[in-house]
């Protein structure tokens, strides 16, 4: 054991001066200053009679080194925490960011309606449904996340001939509440349309859909002119 320890000391002694000579780092300067120190060592309590016998520098640098290591470690822990929360925030902002849908009525040759109550309109020809917010069976869009959303719809009806009554009214609904509506009641022309766009602040789970108001009807949309679309403008945190 003793031989081994001596061997280590000799080896270190041989290596250290070379290292000292090659690189001049703050630690090396500290080490040298400590090695040059001729008075009593200020770092009491530390066991200097180890393998680094005769090397005062090791003893004096040990405490600041340990402190440096400790602070560095604590800083790294803090940085790691910050990085983690930053990455969570980025994920929160970017995840489920792409929300958009577009759908239109599939061909109707006759009329949709009239009904004796307000009925939701199922736009079944879905051409876009990113984020899967739109349910074509119900014609309902459910906000997958909170945010500012834009919705547009076009209502169109063709009653076939002048003198026939165009009589429609559709309304954009948010959870049972009327947000916007478009209507027509005339015998002057045979076809008519209207378009609306609204911006809505939604919470996650809010539902937006279109209704055909009772007694009204939409006729002969053979081109899919009746449409409903929407998209997330930007996410907001749920309140
Ligand atoms: C330590 O002593 C050596 C030799 O006397 C000298 O060259 C060197 O500059 C000293 N280092 C410090 C940091 O005082
Ligand atoms: C669905 O909409 C697309 C785009 O408007 C259209 O090309 C297609 O013919 C429509 N399909 C049906 C079944 O209405
Ligand atoms: C149907 O919609 C009309 C027009 O907005 C409204 O006055 C009426 O109260 C609605 N009926 C029901 C049962 O919600």
pLDDT in tens, 68-84: 889 999 999 999 999 99
Helix (H) or strand (E) holding 10: helix 2-22
Q: ω before 27 within 30° of 0 (cis)?
A: no
Instruction: Please tell me whether residues 80 and 170 are part of one structural domain.
Output: no
164 phi/psi in degrees, rounded to 5: -75, 155
Instruction: Please tell me whether residues 130 and 209 are part of one structural domain.
Output: yes
Q: Which atom of ligand 3 is nearest to the CA of 181?
A: 5
Question: What is the best residue among 127, 128, 154, 223 to mutate for testing ligand 2's pocket, by most ligand atoms within 8 Å of CB?
Answer: 127
The pLDDT of residue 209 is above 70: yes
Q: For residue 91, name the pLDDT band (cuts at 50, 70, 90).
A: confident
Dist CA 180 CA 175 (whole Å): 13
Q: For residue 2, name the pLDDT band (cuts at 50, 70, 90).
A: very low
Is the CB of residue 171 below 6 angstroms from any atom belonging to ligand 3?
yes
What's the gap between Cα 80 and its chain centre? 20
> Average pLDDT for residues 208-219, to the nearest whole number?
97
Instruction: Please tell me whether residues 191 and 106 are part of one structural domain.
Output: yes
> What proportion of the chain, given as a percentage, has pLDDT over 70?
79
Kindly state the DSSP code that residue 213 receives in the 8-state scheme. P
> Average pLDDT for residues 78-99, to the nearest whole number?
89
CA of 223 relative to ligand 2 center, distance in Å? 8
Q: For residue 117, name the pLDDT band (cuts at 50, 70, 90).
A: very high
Instruction: Please tell me whether residues 138 and 221 are part of one structural domain.
Output: yes
Dist CA 206 CA 144 (whole Å): 8
So what's the pLDDT on residue 61?
Answer: 65
Dist CA 136 CA 213 (whole Å): 19
Q: Is 72 helix (H, G, I), strand (E, B) or coil?
A: helix
- Could you report the per-residue pLDDT of 135-193, keeping only the tens digit for each? 999 999 999 999 999 999 999 999 988 888 999 999 999 999 999 999 999 998 899 99
- Indicate the residue among 97, 117, 133 that finishes a domain: 97
So what's the pLDDT on residue 3?
Answer: 41
Q: Among the ranges 13-22, 48-57, 215-224, which has the highest mean pLDDT value? A: 215-224
The pLDDT of residue 212 is above 60: yes
> Average pLDDT for residues 104-130, to the nearest whole number?
95
Ligand nearest to the CA of 179: 3
User: Per the structure, how many domains does the chain have?
Assistant: 2
Domain limits at 137? 98-235
Q: 101: which 2 tokens?
A: 């849908």
Is the CB of residue 172 below 6 angstroms from any atom belonging to ligand 3?
no
Using an 8 Å Cβ cutoff, are 218 and 112 in contact?
yes
Instruction: Please tell me whether residues 90 and 175 are part of one structural domain.
Output: no
- Indicate the residue among 79, 97, 115 that finishes a domain: 97
Instruction: Please tell me whether residues 147 and 192 are part of one structural domain.
Output: yes
- The pTM for the full model equals 0.67
């Amino acid at each position: 054991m003793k031989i081994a320890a001596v061997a280590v000391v000799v080896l270190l002694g041989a290596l250290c001066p070379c290292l000292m000579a090659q690189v001049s780092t703050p630690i090396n300067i500290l080490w040298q200053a400590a090695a040059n120190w001729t008075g009593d060592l200020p770092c009491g309590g530390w066991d200097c009679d180890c393998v680094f016998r005769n090397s005062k520098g090791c003893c004096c640098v040990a405490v600041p080194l340990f402190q440096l290591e400790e602070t560095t470690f604590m800083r790294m822990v803090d940085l790691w925490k910050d990085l983690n929360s930053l990455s969570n925030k980025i994920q929160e902002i970017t995840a489920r960011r792409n929300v958009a849908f577009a759908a239109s009525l599939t061909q109707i040759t006759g009329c949709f309606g009239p009904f004796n109550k307000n009925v939701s309109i199922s736009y079944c020809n879905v051409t876009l449904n990113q984020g899967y917010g739109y349910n074509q069976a119900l014609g309902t869009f459910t906000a997958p996340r909170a945010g500012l959303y834009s919705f547009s719809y076009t209502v169109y009806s063709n009653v076939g001939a002048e003198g026939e009554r165009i009589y429609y009214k559709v309304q954009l609904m948010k959870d049972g509440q009327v947000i916007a509506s478009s209507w027509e009641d005339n015998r002057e022309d045979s076809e008519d349309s209207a378009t609306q766009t609204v911006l809505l602040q939604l919470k996650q789970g809010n539902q937006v859909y279109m209704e055909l108001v009772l007694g009204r009807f939409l006729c002969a949309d053979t081109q899919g002119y009746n449409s409903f679309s929407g998209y997330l403008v930007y996410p907001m945190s749920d309140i």
